[in-house]
Structure 1
Amino acid sequence: MASSRQKEALARVLAHEGGYVNHPRDPGGPTNKGVTQRVYDSYRRSKGLGAQSVQVISMKEIAEIYDRQYWDAVHGDELPAGVDYVLFDGAVNSGPKQSIVWLQRALGAAYKGRVDGTMGFSTIAAVNAVNDRDALIDRICDQRLSFLRQLRTWPTFGRGWAARVAEVRAIGKAWATNAAPLVANFYDGASAKAYAEDAPAAPMTAPADAATGAGIGGGVVAGTLQSLQDQLLPFSYASEWIGKVIVVLTIVSALLAIGGLAWSWYARRKAKRLAEAMGPA
């Protein structure tokens, strides 16, 4: 049987999810009360039932799906008040594995295991050893926001996601301090699914490395021509022609080398930021 806090957490998650949506940019596709058509199809198959539109999903089915696929997946009953709700809401929006990754990263040095999105004994023990639950919830929500900002769908749904995370943060911290839990609200765009698969790929450094190499190579050629020009100095016409080639080669080589180094710096910085925000999930 669902605990009273699980029921209260579910009520708030459902408020954030709203009703039926099918936004063309939402990677979840047709979704009703946070349950995607794909999840609903899998649930009905597991029950030996035929497929039907998620638009007609019953509250009993919703409660069972949320219980098994999200609350149990993050081990909600084993987590402290507030942290359980924060993980639960994140799991519904981005999947249990991603939500657990945010938690594991937010635990910092308190967690000695691998950041793998699996809620094992070491993760639960680390959570329960944390004294400042407010600070932990802040770090989890910060991880979640960093992740969301990297997604290609952030320009479309970012405002709604940011409002949702802010409210999840406030509700979770109220629960963590035994204050009266706040009411959740629906924000336009906040129910769109936010999956790691929707993050852009990190920029490739190969073109930059090639450009830098070409620039250096051009510089070497220019140096060789400079030596040849010195030898041909008595022949003024040939020397003048080679001088022009040297100038062009030097400029082009410098531009290639500088451009390649700049792009390489940008690509590596972008890749690092993506890795920090996305995590191994």
Structure 2
Amino acid sequence: MKTDFAKCMPRILAYEGGWSNHPRDPGGVTLEGIIQRVYDGYRDRQGKPRRPLKPEMRNTAEWKRERDEIFRAQYWKAIRGDELPAGIDLVVFDGAVNSGPYQSIKWLQRALGFSGDGHLGETTLAAVQHHPDHDKLIADICARRLGMLQQLSTWDAFGKGWAKRVANVKAIGQAWATGSVGPAPIAAHEDQGDAKAYASDVAQPAVDSGDAIKGAVGSGTIGATLNSVKEQIEPIAQSADWIMHVYTAITVLCVGAGVGAVLYSLWSSMKAKKARRAIDGDIVATVPEGQPA
């Protein structure tokens, strides 16, 4: 059994940088890739008092030991890193640190042609071992990863760093898969590439398509109000020109509200389906080449 955990860690740490607390990062306070919530859980299990992650902890012997234990237990073992081929282990490991093991495993499984349940079992391992082109497999994993990242609501803030990170880990992974060294890891954190990229942040429509349809048929608040006013005016609409004009205007608004709701429903449904495809790993993006080392 190979043990490439120690080989992968310096690359991950280069991407993560030190302490961060970006207001839009769903991970919140983070130190070298470890978020406060995960660190609290680790300390609880060890029977130790909780403590906040601080920049000055970074180079202490105690923190390094705790950090490596968390990375190994939370991410490396979850993706069965010691059983993955060289290069693929790094790519799946980095995806797990950035977006969670479940999501990273789904990208691997979709690249293998599986439906993807997010659990790495014997079937997935066998498929990886028998895959004829690990270089191509790594490229496919990274393309699916970037495909989801581009759909996140935080892409505008962190996209530049994420794109560089995925491109760099792809280049290193492909080099390792062919027995080469590959480029040096980049400092992705300098472009906010250390921000957590969770599937829960995939951009979703503000209103469910079903709710929009309800509005279209008049059960929505706006549609119901307009129809109520229209019904009250209808008996006296012929009594004065200005009332007729009001009645006509309300009728047009009712039609417009219905059409608008139908159109929004179609758009909402398409957006929701795209979000689902992104989470499932079915959106493939073009990973940029030639990122600086």
| Normalised-by-shorter TM-score class | 0.7 to 0.9
CA deviation after TM superposition for structure 1 residue 250, in Å = 6.6
For 1:117, the aligned partner's letter is: G
CA deviation after TM superposition for structure 1 residue 248, in Å = 4.9
1:209 and 2:213 are equivalent in the alignment: yes
Instruction: Tell me the residue number matched to 1:231.
Output: none
The equivalences for 1:170-185 within 5 A come to 170-185=171-186
CA deviation after TM superposition for structure 1 residue 191, in Å = 0.8
Work out the CA distance in 1 between the residues paired with 2:245 and 2:32: 70
For 1:194, the aligned partner's letter is: A
Instruction: Tell me the residue number matched to 1:60.
Output: 65
SS in 2 for 1:58: helix
Instruction: Tell me the residue number matched to 2:5.
Output: 6
Contact 1:211–1:259, Cα closer than 8 Å, also in 2: no
1:198 and 2:198 are equivalent in the alignment: no
Structure 2 unmatched ranges of 5 or more? 228-237, 282-293
Aligned length: 259
Work out the CA distance in 1 between the residues paired with 2:196 and 2:179: 30
Instruction: Provide the identity percentage.
Output: 45
CA deviation after TM superposition for structure 1 residue 52, in Å = 2.5
Pair 1:124–1:251, CA change in 2 (3 A): same
Pair 1:250–1:49, CA change in 2 (3 A): closer
RMSD: 2.9
SS in 1 for 2:217: helix
Structure 1 unmatched ranges of 5 or more? 222-236
SS in 2 for 1:157: helix
Offset from partner CA, 1:204-242 (integer Å, 9 cap, x none): 113431343349x9xxx9xxxxxxxxxxxxxxx78x999
Pair 1:2–1:134, CA change in 2 (3 A): closer
Pair 1:186–1:256, CA change in 2 (3 A): same
Offset from partner CA, 1:45-90 (integer Å, 9 cap, x none): 2222222233325222222211121111101111111111000001
Contact 2:2–2:83, Cα closer than 8 Å, also in 1: no
Contact 2:147–2:278, Cα closer than 8 Å, also in 1: yes
Work out the CA distance in 2 between the residues paired with 1:214 and 1:193: 41
Offset from partner CA, 1:135-186 (integer Å, 9 cap, x none): 2112211221122122222211111111111111111111112222321011
TM-score normalised according to structure 2 size:
0.78
Contact 1:86–1:168, Cα closer than 8 Å, also in 2: yes
CA deviation after TM superposition for structure 1 residue 272, in Å = 0.7
Give 1 or 2 for the bigger CA radius of gyration: 1
- More divergent stretch after superposition (147-156 vs 47-56): 47-56
